[in-house]
Structure 1
């Protein structure tokens, strides 16, 4: 779907698209690609747009790595909810101070086993229970080896 939308070439364009009432423009802010310098300008100089940067489907992993440091838990939550969130970022988010972020890590299909294991004693029982259930059903290494 990203191919359907033309590249966003500036921070100003991204912000205009994101704030637009036109669904086509709003969708473009969520699906179109940006060059890396534009991403960096957006996340460094427009903190109010960091959630929306994390919301974009094409956001590069190096930008996600920056966004997991955001003081707003909603930005970190958005990163952890991304289907293609890198395992190394999920590993770091397993220690997040916000329960919602840790819960996403516990259930994320790309979370490393070590991250899920750290959550089995989480202070929030829902997270601990989900982590224990995931570990109990974790595929064994032999199950994934070809016959």
Structure 2
């Protein structure tokens, strides 16, 4: 489900429309549900910090879906960028509101798809994107050079979020929402989707 469709379906204050999830067991039940409305709740609803801690610590198969939750706190995201699974790190990087300091760390990620997401992310600091202009994968280096070439003269916090849309190539993760089996074990056979990514404030980095 895209951000645009979510906005149509639920409105702009979506997390407030879902009751808080109060236990790890409840989160897992909602994530594994065959009811799309329950899976949507697992993707939007807030949780108390002890629930987040237990979920990430005790259920590694749920870490992708923890990163996918739009209410995931920054301190939890900071733990998830250390995950051994590249698709978990990639989901953190693809969040529209990913903190700039995490994008800086992920610019050194061993997986090409994660680094490419950082190169095209609207919140990546200029210094981070500049480093990626020398990336060994030509696709990433090209995307980073395009961003630097179109960087605003003045941009708050070194990010280019006030730049009008341009479109470097990006290869982005596509989570699979097709059923409870994929919900438990992550997005299933992962693939990268080639797309043009706008650099301005209208840019979308997957469902957020």
Partner of 1:66: 79
Q: How many residues align?
A: 144
Equivalences for residues 94-105 of structure 1 within 5 A: 94-105=107-118
Structure with the bigger percentage of strand: 2
The TM-score, its normalising length taken from structure 2, stands at: 0.68
The TM-score, its normalising length taken from structure 1, stands at: 0.95
Check if 1:137 corresponds to 2:150.
Answer: yes
Corresponding residue to 2:105 among 62, 76, 92: 92
Check if 1:116 corresponds to 2:153.
Answer: no
Partner of 2:66: 53
Structure with the bigger percentage of helix: 1
Runs of 4+ in 1 over 3 A off after TM superposition: none
Distance in 1 between the 2:41 and 2:155 partners? Answer: 43
Deviations 1:72-98 (A, max 9, x none): 000000000000000000000000000
- Per the TM alignment, residue 17 of structure 1 is displaced from its structure 2 partner at its CA by 0.3
- Per the TM alignment, residue 140 of structure 1 is displaced from its structure 2 partner at its CA by 1.1
Distance in 2 between the 1:37 and 1:116 partners? Answer: 35
Distance in 2 between the 1:142 and 1:63 partners? Answer: 28
Partner of 2:56: 43
Check if 1:83 corresponds to 2:96.
Answer: yes
Where relative contact order (Cα < 8 A, 6+ residues apart) is larger, the structure is: 2
Consecutive unaligned residues in structure 1, runs of 5 or more: none
Q: 1:78–1:142: structure 2 CA closer, same or farther, 3 Å change rule? A: closer
Q: 1:126–1:142: structure 2 CA closer, same or farther, 3 Å change rule? A: closer
Distance in 1 between the 2:50 and 2:105 partners? Answer: 25
Consecutive unaligned residues in structure 2, runs of 5 or more: 1-13, 157-161, 163-208
Give the aligned CA root-mean-square deviation in angstroms: 1.3
- Per the TM alignment, residue 121 of structure 1 is displaced from its structure 2 partner at its CA by 0.8
Partner of 2:139: 126
